[in-house]
A and B are shown apart, each in its own frame.
Chain A
Amino acid sequence: MKGFPWILASGLMMGLASAQVDGFVESRMGTRTQSDPGQDQASIREIRLQLGHVDFYGPFDLELKADFLYDDLDSRRSSVDLERGQGWFDLRSANVSFAPTDWTDVKVGRQVLTWGTGDLLFINDLFPKDWTSFFNGRDVEYLKAPSDAIWLANFVGDWTVDMIWTPRFNADRYLDGDGISFAGGAFTPDNRIHADVPTDSEFAARLSRYVGSAEIAGYLYDGYWKSPGGFDDAGRAQFPRLSVYGASMQWPGLGGLVNLEAGYYDSRDDRDGVDPAAPNSEVRFLAGYSRELRADLSLGIQGYVEWMQDYGDYRDSLPEGRGARDEVRQVTTLRLTRLLMNQNLVLSGFVFASPTDEDGYLRGSVEYKWSDTLTTTVGGNWFVGRDSDTFFGQLEDNSNLYVAIRRWF
């Protein structure tokens, strides 16, 4: 495994030499707007080079994208972990796709996967996310962590059947205490979460079609909770088994786009809700609406609920002293995007607010394109919460401001 990044890196460098490679170089600096006893005052301090190569080779499409990262805050940067996304090298994609029949597409290899109708809220998208990158001010592209998977898409009449098999479970790049503090600062860079990540496969499928202008879809997932769901007796984080059954619909309506999505989270290791080391089953639902208010100003709103099943059993089995979450967690989101100066200036705000948790999260950014190849972004992540054990409330000490300069080539 150790030599692998070097081989890929040199391959990409050779590609660069033959001018078949594009990408960007970026510097990103950020600071916490308050101090966090367990973390560095800097929230991000890194230089990143992304190289990509996309081409056709006969009937095959090849896609390669790799990031070379100098993360000044990462004490482990010399060692590369391609699943956790740690170290100086991160492989974003390395895949081949082809169409064995007129009605089938296959994509094999490392790829970024997503589906579902939510905007920064995910119900049926159980592909890996990188929460540290999302919260610490990296580009939103890095919220999606890559999967090592085989994607088979079948187009049968008006139906599309997507099946994605991941031979070895790809967990989220979950919060482990390094960079982002949570759970009251219980974990730090020196005292990170250690987890037993399953090595079994996971499977996701989608069946979708259009009915007029409405897209309807049904989803299936079989695998594990994507971030640690509890701890075993030895204090190691566990990924309990999970199946998800869901559906979504998106259609043009009310002068914009309307979407509905629901999922049943079947927590198979704790179907009765009595095991405090595994999450209970949940029903999740979201409704969204987006539209252009006027030229270059767009709006998106969403309402989202997580409804825990067997709530009484959860309360009864909760260890002494552990704060209980509510039976129903509600989140509403608001997105506003304004384009100015020939769309060279982009103002963007995204708010998560939870009336049940009494917490919230604001992502704001101002991006200016100096030229077709040079961009500066200034942004921030602000977490507020009444309590320090709610989803966003526990992240309060991570509120940050950052600036990034990116040069494309």
Chain B
Amino acid sequence: MQTQLKIRIISILLPVFLTGSIWAEEAPPVNEIIRRAEKAAYYAGKDGVADVKMVIHDASGGTREREFRILRWNGEDGQQKFYVYFNGPADVRRMAYLVWKHGPGRDDDRWLWLPSLGRVNRIAPGDKRTSFVGSDFVYEDVSGRDPNDDEHELVEVGETQYHIRSVPKDKGSVEFASYEVWIDRETHLPVKAEYTDSRGNVYRRVTADRIEVIDGHPTVIVSTVEDLSRNSKTVNTFSNIQYDVGLNENIFSERFLRRPPREAVR
């Protein structure tokens, strides 16, 4: 009887332990999951270009559109350079925005080219949680949030997704109290993120709505940010995506803000 019970207990527990051990093997440390997700979402290829159409839907039903082409170049140790060339709307047409992302621990350098003034403006290293060109996206959504800025905790290993909860180390520096992110186990891409305010309400949601494999890289083609408190949302649609086009690092410079490179315009 006793033996029977033992066997029964073991037979009940065994699958739990077994699957548990499989998960333990498959689920890397949470920081590794985050690192892979960052790499998949922001560092695919040696470089990349894409056309972006941004549609901002405000609470009253109005829409605004932004069209720009984005060029990205990857350096060493997480260093990156971005070149954003605006095609619309008309009041920002031909403006260009340059970012040198130095990686962990150092502020980005940012410049804006204002063609009507013939002037390159250095931008003060500011709040990365500021709206990007009036949309619901913030600068950090565009160039990526430093994983070292948060403490990450693996909440659940789902069949297809890792569910991670992250809490900022410096609570005063951001508008959220925490956020949860769901990362696709196969593509490593974050497919959903929800931001919670200090009262525990989810007020912001970012989703990857369509993912396609381009040049071997799983790539987000459509993504949406919803601001649930303001009842607005912004949809980003990417097209003409290319990786490893052989961008010259030189074009990410003040020289080429003044005279946009062909790669940015065409």
Contact = CB atoms under 8 A, between A and B. Distances in A.
The A interface is mostly helix, strand or loop, or mixed, namely strand
Given A56-B265, A105-B255, A252-B109, A294 B122 contact: no
A252 B102 CA distance: 14
B263 interface: no
Given A114-B117, A141-B117, A408 B131 contact: no
A7 B38 CA distance: 55
Given A54-B94, A296-B130, A256 B125 contact: yes
B117 A256 contact: no
B56 A342 contact: yes
B134 interface: yes
Please tell me the size bucket of the interface on B: 35 or more
A17 interface: no
Contact of B124 (A99, A292, A344): A292
Contact of A296 (B64, B89, B124, B131): B131
B255 A160 contact: yes
B127 to A, nearest CB: 5
B217 interface: no
Contact of A215 (B90, B122, B134): B122
B134 A344 contact: yes
B58 A342 contact: yes
Contact of A372 (B89, B107, B118, B125): B89
Contact of B255 (A61, A155, A372, A408): A155
Interface in A24-61: 24, 54, 56, 61
B232 A372 contact: no
Nearest to B90: A408
Given A114-B119, A141-B116, 6 more contacts: A24-B90, A256-B126, A339-B131, A342-B64, A343-B133, A371-B64
Interface of A: 22, 24, 54, 56, 61, 97, 99, 105, 107, 111-114, 140-141, 144, 153, 155, 160, 213, 215, 250, 252, 255-257, 290-292, 294-296, 298, 339, 342-344, 369, 371-373, 375, 408-409
Interface of B: 56, 58, 62, 64-65, 88-91, 93-94, 107, 109, 116-119, 122-127, 129-131, 133-135, 175, 232, 254-255, 258-259, 262, 265
5 shortest A-B CB distances, which residue pairs?
A292-B126, A408-B90, A343-B134, A372-B89, A112-B118
15 contacts: A112-B118, A140-B117, A141-B116, A256-B126, A257-B123, A257-B125, A290-B124, A295-B131, A296-B130, A339-B134, A342-B131, A342-B232, A371-B64, A372-B90, A409-B90
